Structure 1
Amino acid sequence: MERDFFQHVGIQAPVGPTRHCKGWGQEAALRMLMNNLDARVGENPQERIVYGGRGRAARSWPAYDKIVESLLTLENDETLLIQSGKPVGIFKTQPQAPRVLIANANLVGKWATLEEFDRLEKQGLTMFGQMTAGSWIYIGSQGVIQGTFETLAALARKHFDGTLKGRLYVSAGLGGMGGAQPLAAKMLDGVALIAEVDAKRIQKRLDTGYLDVAYDSIEAAVSRALAAKQAAESLSIGVHCHANALLHYLITNQIIPDVLSDQTAAHDPLIGYIPDELDVSEALSLRHADPVDYLQRARRSIAHHVQNLLQLQKAGAHTFDYGNNIRREAFDQGVTDAFDIPGYVPAYIRDLFNQGKGPFRWAVLSGKPEEIYQLDALALEMFGDNPLLTRWFTLAQKYIHFQGLPARIAYMGLGERDAFATKVNEWVAQGVLSAPVVFGRDHHDTGSVASPYRETEAMRDGSDAIADWPILNALLNTASGAHWVSFHHGGGTGIGYALHAGAVVVADGSEDSAGRLSRVFFNDPGIGVIRHADAGYDLATQTMKAHEDRMRAPFVGPNTNIPMI
């Protein structure tokens, strides 16, 4: 074998047109799994942690080795089953079936609590896959940032004049998700001031261009932010401190941000949130020595955190929850007005979901950055009439540093994703690109999630907790021929609060891939449009009707309260 696929240090995906597996579906899964555990991409590869507290790509190193071995030998009419990060079976299926099916962290409803998950995880029976960690399609902060860009752009349109110029955005958390915040605000001409307790995360964001400057002093950081705001300068600033320390300073000094949020991993208070009185090393020690005490401290800090957010909101800051379940954690600690803070999806993103728009992403298996730029040019040619998308691709080329396999993300809608992906498949067939391209998305999408405190918060028909939709999404993507399909519990808002699905297809230039790409990347956002039309959103109904030649809805809402007898 030309390379050691079983090394556990310095993991990097192979690149180029040479296959190591028996098909490109298996090869793409292998490379994306390895890319997740590349130190340039994942947060803590030594523990197989990719992002989001403890979101892992594999349950154990022996499980990882068996996954790799299975992918290397998997036939083109076989399907590998992954149960919470562990390979458990290979079955004969059919050539157009998925090569891999993944289920992570799923628990029966009554047992779907963090405490029960922790107990089962300690016994080695399950694994938290977050959203794209355990489904092998995470691409680092380069895969998160456009969603943050779209959110802040929608906020700017709603509250300001379409720009963040001369505005101050304050938040916390510079991990795999939150690390996108400072650059997204800067790309919209604003000033970002982000608290982070882990100095290593701050340094990583400086190294990769997501931060311009960083300070250990809150006073110095705030002073620099206010000067940049006054000068209408675009600037991203990190400050090494707890979120509450920064918020307390702002409150004490009567400094009101224009925009306020949080992206700490509060959905996993044991692993993802560090209590106010502890530094990173102290937190690690207490987490292992006394997890009960740790959770109590973390939850007290979270409650205080939300109280500070509420106080600044009442003083005039446009404040929103960024999908990390921090409001629910605080509410459970007695902060009864926690939900006065709106969620970002109903506040800013739902109209995008109504149009089938969401976090579509791709990675070039050639490893060549210039091929991403070729695809940028193709996207601009195909969708140049969209000014926000045009701005996004232009700024992404200027600011985004690649992590691991070069990749890109774009919020494309119904009829756009499949058109783009199939054109790219033609380019692979024609040799315009030197190797295949992997297409997937975040699980945070229009029809793939049931999450009442994030994606499905405040649905018009009250269907926030109906989880049939992500299950149907996974089944539809399996029937449509995605190369791998996943179904997870708990990503984004934590165990007990979300169910969600993912799908990935590789464009290898074949007719087989052309069919898969066309079906999956129309049907996948299509079910999201139907889901929202069924809930009574007129924009979704209009979107659906514009594509009636490719999908039909036998009965679409708005739902009525018909009692079941």
Structure 2
Amino acid sequence: MSVIKSPTGKKLHCKSWQQEGLLRLLLNCLDPDIAKKPKDLIAYGGRGKVARNWECLETIIGTLKNLENDETLLIQSGKPVGVFKTFDFSPRVVMAGALLVPKWATWETFYELEKKGLTSYGQSTAGSWAFIGTQGILQGTWETFLQVALKHFNGCLRKKIVLTSGLGEMGSAQPLAITGLKGIAIIAEVDKNVIKKRLLSNVIDIMVFSVEDAIDIAVEYKERGEPISIGLLGNAADIYEKLFEMGFIPDVVTDQTPAHDRKSYIPSGILPEEASSLRETDPVKYEEMFRNTIIRHVKAMVEFKDKGSVVFEYGNNIREQGKISGIDAFNIIPNFASEYIRPLFFEGRGPFRWVALSGDPEDIYRTDEVLLTLFKNDRKIVDWIDFVEKRFSFHGLPSRVCWLNFYERALFGKIINEMVKSGELKAPVAITRDHMDAASMASPYRETENMKDGSDAIADWPVLNAMLNAGCGATLVGVFQGGGVGIGYSIHSGMTIIADGSKEADFRLERALQADAQLGVIRYADAGYDKAKEIVKSTLFTAKVIS
């Protein structure tokens, strides 16, 4: 298998930049510098695939290269199924991924259908070709821990110790975010190779092999008032239990292991390299080990909370897996989205991303300069850009992410398009977002848990979001299932627009970026949140709201 990397520069391999941008994003998801298992087409999250199989990937690539400017390619769970004559302003790609009829929406049914080659799991941004590596989750992680600091520690994590787990593609953002906010991170990771990878990429500062060493280092840096990230080799359940038994109570406890997926979470008592074999040779034993480990893991988190730690689930559905296994912590441990992120959704603020299709980092640095000029009075934006420029190196196509509201996204998107048109940027820019956004995610154990009006499980909004984005001319739209928390637990939508400097792109960006985020404000206003109700009445809000 040859190494996959996105093309760079100005040369087109497709019939326009709309198709070319999507092709480059697709290939970027499999860049070995950012993808978890590129040879298996897995970008991140244990099983998040960009295409169903290699044959499908090759067909998608070939189809994008020959796709006309008034045609739309349909992707069914990672498989290209047809090209339809549409309009110049229509999406070039429309997707649906891992969608199952609700009664059959279980991992067991999914695995059965996957074995038959009928579906694939795209997580969120893998399936929608918008994965950009660690930075993609870093901004959301930064925002989360910033909100934790604001709510519990007067806005700063200095001298605060955060215990968490998982240094995979999603969890790898944790040490950077925590130390960026001046905190001390102890991150349990069961795979030694993953810790080494994070060391080599400067994501973590140090690796240790014993709980005692981790404590000694954390306490030393706490006394000095300096940040540090410590990668601690071992199973999360074992480490959490031992820390608690030793009387070590961190200030904050969370977890980002892939607990939502039994085939990715490693039970206590076996090494990562042994897990795959045991799943096949003795699935009953593996399931028993999984359940026992999850119980111990959740129990330790509850015990830390009882002793005064700030404890929350970080979106991996570990509470649900605990409940299935025999320990119910839903009324004890909150989830991060409803506890810390939801107020940002009220104003349509979310994970806006842009990717330099030129491959030149200078294109991103130039947009950073413009962003800092536009929003120089927003301390959070200024601090974030300053931090990420100093601490984060680009992997794959250079990209940036920043949480902007509906007005800021549309304004900045049009400015980027003008920069492309004028030649200030060397090539077009792909504008996209994470699926963890105001209108694009229905997830009752995460983004939409404990909604004010009880609408936790209403999945109309992400479906409406995708249809609205298609109507507004987004270059790619899609609806998916299971991102973040697993099959049966979420419905979500993705969108991408290619800013190619054209007048048509101006229209696409203005309409889609406004509509995409404004629908989120309407969603929360409809659910009864006062802040969202105020915003829909503001002069900047362009959508007409029917009360």
| TM-score bucket of the superposed structures, by smaller chain | over 0.9
Aligned partners of 1:146 and 1:409 also within 8 Å: yes
Q: How far off its partner does 1:483 sit? A: 0.3
2:338 paired with 1:370: no
Q: Amino acid of the residue matched to residue 519 of structure 1?
A: R
2:233 paired with 1:240: yes
Aligned match of 2:282: 290
- Change in CA separation of 1:547 and 1:497 when aligned onto 2, cut-off 3 Å: farther
Aligned partners of 1:363 and 1:405 also within 8 Å: yes
- Change in CA separation of 1:236 and 1:463 when aligned onto 2, cut-off 3 Å: same
Greater shift, 292-301 or 240-249, is seen at 292-301
The C-alpha deviation readout for 1:8-46, integer Å capped at 9, x for no partner, is 421000001111100111111111110001110110101
User: Partner of 2:14: helix, strand, or coil?
Assistant: coil
Aligned partners of 1:142 and 1:403 also within 8 Å: no
- Structure-to-structure mapping, 1:297-446, within 5 angstroms: 297-446=289-438
Aligned partners of 2:241 and 2:297 also within 8 Å: no
Q: How far off its partner does 1:419 sit? A: 0.5
Aligned equivalents of 1:381 and 1:60: distance in 2?
Answer: 44
Match of 1:168 among 161, 172, 178: 161
Q: Amino acid of the residue matched to residue 461 of structure 2?
A: W
Q: How far off its partner does 1:208 sit? A: 1.8
Aligned partners of 2:448 and 2:456 also within 8 Å: yes
- Structure-to-structure mapping, 1:225-264, within 5 angstroms: 225-264=218-257
Match of 2:215 among 222, 229, 236: 222
User: Partner of 1:142: helix, strand, or coil?
Assistant: helix
Aligned match of 2:530: 538
2:547 paired with 1:526: no
Q: How far off its partner does 1:216 sit? A: 1.8
Aligned match of 1:470: 462
2:108 paired with 1:115: yes
2:505 paired with 1:509: no
Aligned equivalents of 1:390 and 1:451: distance in 2?
Answer: 31
Q: Amino acid of the residue matched to residue 204 of structure 1?
A: K
User: Partner of 1:238: helix, strand, or coil?
Assistant: strand
TM-score, normalised via structure 1 length? 0.96
Aligned match of 1:80: 73
Sequence identity (%): 47
Aligned equivalents of 1:296 and 1:84: distance in 2?
Answer: 31
The C-alpha deviation readout for 1:531-565, integer Å capped at 9, x for no partner, is 0000011111112111465101111xxxxxxxxxx
- Change in CA separation of 1:370 and 1:417 when aligned onto 2, cut-off 3 Å: same
Aligned match of 1:495: 487
Aligned match of 1:559: none
Q: Amino acid of the residue matched to residue 88 of structure 1?
A: V
User: Partner of 1:169: helix, strand, or coil?
Assistant: strand
Q: How far off its partner does 1:292 sit? A: 4.0
Q: How far off its partner does 1:338 sit? A: 4.1
User: Partner of 1:453: helix, strand, or coil?
Assistant: coil
Aligned partners of 2:479 and 2:491 also within 8 Å: yes
Q: How far off its partner does 1:357 sit? A: 0.6
CA RMSD of aligned residues (A): 1.0
Aligned equivalents of 1:435 and 1:135: distance in 2?
Answer: 22
Give the total of aligned pairs: 547
User: Partner of 1:482: helix, strand, or coil?
Assistant: coil
Aligned equivalents of 2:533 and 2:180: distance in 1?
Answer: 32
The C-alpha deviation readout for 1:193-234, integer Å capped at 9, x for no partner, is 100011121122112221011112222122111211121111
User: Partner of 1:340: helix, strand, or coil?
Assistant: coil
- Change in CA separation of 1:549 and 1:56 when aligned onto 2, cut-off 3 Å: closer
Aligned equivalents of 1:64 and 1:547: distance in 2?
Answer: 45
Q: How far off its partner does 1:401 sit? A: 1.6
Match of 1:192 among 172, 185, 190: 185
Aligned match of 2:452: 460
Aligned match of 1:561: none
The C-alpha deviation readout for 1:134-193, integer Å capped at 9, x for no partner, is 100000011110100000001101001100000001100011111100110000000011
User: Partner of 1:532: helix, strand, or coil?
Assistant: helix
Q: Which runs of 5+ in 2 are unaligned?
A: none
Greater shift, 200-209 or 22-31, is seen at 200-209
Aligned equivalents of 1:236 and 1:547: distance in 2?
Answer: 44
- Change in CA separation of 1:339 and 1:291 when aligned onto 2, cut-off 3 Å: farther
Q: Amino acid of the residue matched to residue 305 of structure 1?
A: H
User: Partner of 1:416: helix, strand, or coil?
Assistant: helix
Q: How far off its partner does 1:296 sit? A: 2.9
2:147 paired with 1:158: no
2:306 paired with 1:279: no
Aligned equivalents of 2:240 and 2:143: distance in 1?
Answer: 25
Aligned equivalents of 2:79 and 2:282: distance in 1?
Answer: 28
Aligned equivalents of 2:161 and 2:415: distance in 1?
Answer: 40
2:476 paired with 1:484: yes
Match of 2:440 among 448, 452, 456: 448
Aligned match of 2:129: 136
Aligned equivalents of 1:19 and 1:299: distance in 2?
Answer: 51
Aligned equivalents of 1:384 and 1:485: distance in 2?
Answer: 32
Q: Which runs of 5+ in 1 are unaligned?
A: 1-7, 556-565
User: Partner of 1:59: helix, strand, or coil?
Assistant: coil
Aligned partners of 1:306 and 1:338 also within 8 Å: no
Q: How far off its partner does 1:299 sit? A: 2.4
Aligned partners of 1:17 and 1:434 also within 8 Å: yes
Aligned match of 1:101: 94
The C-alpha deviation readout for 1:447-494, integer Å capped at 9, x for no partner, is 101100001011100000000000000000000000000110000110
- Structure-to-structure mapping, 1:12-51, within 5 angstroms: 12-51=5-44
Q: Amino acid of the residue matched to residue 409 of structure 1?
A: V
Aligned equivalents of 2:539 and 2:491: distance in 1?
Answer: 27
2:205 paired with 1:212: yes
Aligned equivalents of 1:443 and 1:110: distance in 2?
Answer: 24
The C-alpha deviation readout for 1:44-93, integer Å capped at 9, x for no partner, is 10111111110100110001000000000000000000011110100001
Q: Amino acid of the residue matched to residue 551 of structure 1?
A: A
The C-alpha deviation readout for 1:304-362, integer Å capped at 9, x for no partner, is 10001000110111000111000001011111234410011121111100010111111
Aligned match of 1:52: 45
Aligned match of 2:546: 554
User: Partner of 1:116: helix, strand, or coil?
Assistant: helix
Aligned equivalents of 1:359 and 1:107: distance in 2?
Answer: 27
Q: Amino acid of the residue matched to residue 214 of structure 2?
A: A
Aligned partners of 2:430 and 2:499 also within 8 Å: yes
User: Partner of 2:82: helix, strand, or coil?
Assistant: strand
User: Partner of 1:103: helix, strand, or coil?
Assistant: strand
